[in-house]
Amino acid sequence: MMNKRKNLGQHFLKSKTIAKSIVSNAKITRNDIVLEIGTGHGILIPYLCKNAKQVFSIEKDQNLHLLAKSNFHDYSNLVLEYGDGFNSNHNFSIFVSNLPYSKSRFAVEWLLQKKFSRAVIMVQKEFAEKLSSSKEHKAISVLANHGFRIKFLMNVKKSNFFPMPKVDSVVILLEQRNTISKALISTVNRVFSYRRKTLQNVLKQFGLNSTSKKRLDELSGGEIIKIAQKIIRI
């Protein structure tokens, strides 16, 4: 079982100090509804439940879900659910998750479409650098910087997890600036599939005219978002 989870990129945080720090950075108040995707062994639950109005914690591994139900049945503001949290329809103001590395990009694109206040997520260090980079253009960094204010919170050494991953992690804070439609996300991703072409040739793929010889790498993230919005309006 553990090997299967390891293949899925699932590594469990074992440091209560880091768990406490993650939750304190979420700045949860009595008015907040918290969504946690990936209950795991429930290391965050006591800290999430301390101040929140309500906590929804969703786990897709049935054994872990049942374990959490037996360990955390006495929290009146906690709802434990079994299933894929990304299919849930809960409204939430705070999102907290130690995601499997393989789900990081999917989770960010999912969050971009949701209305919330802030998210504190643990991701692979390399992914966090890609996300916040304003120099190296990637579709995900353009989208994330348009949708969020991104703040680096802390490094987390790989020795703080079991099984131990091959790389270190970081905890980042995402504060919402703009919600982004699914159509805009997929259009930006499509535009980047032509990244080696000039803007003139990129726009031609979508039936638009331009005389610009610039490449995507020479444009700002904001300019790329505007181009994608223009394509959607066709």
Separation CA 233–CA 230 (nearest Å): 5
Confidence grade of residue 2 (pLDDT, cut at 50, 70, 90): very low
Angle, helices 104-112 vs 139-147, to 10°: value is 40
pLDDT above 70 coverage of the chain, percent: 94
pLDDT in tens, 135-189: 667 999 999 999 999 999 999 999 999 999 999 999 999 999 999 999 999 999 9
pTM for this one?
Answer: 0.93
- Mean local confidence (pLDDT), 74-95: 97
Q: Looking at residues 78-106, what average pLDDT do you find?
A: 95
Full set of structural domains in the chain with CATH: 2-179 (3.40.50.150), 183-232 (no CATH)
Q: In terms of C-beta density within 10 A (0-12 exposed, 13-18 middle, 19 or more buried), how is residue 186 classed?
A: middle
Which residues touch 187 (CB under 8 Å, ≥6 apart)? 228, 231, 232
Phi, psi of 211 (to 5 degrees): -105, 5
Say how far apart CA 43 and CA 54 lie, in whole Å: 17
Question: What proportions of the chain, in percent to the nearest 5, are helix, strand and coil?
Answer: 45, 20, 35
Q: What is the pLDDT of residues 181-226, one digit of tens each?
A: 999 999 999 999 998 899 999 999 999 999 999 998 899 999 999 9
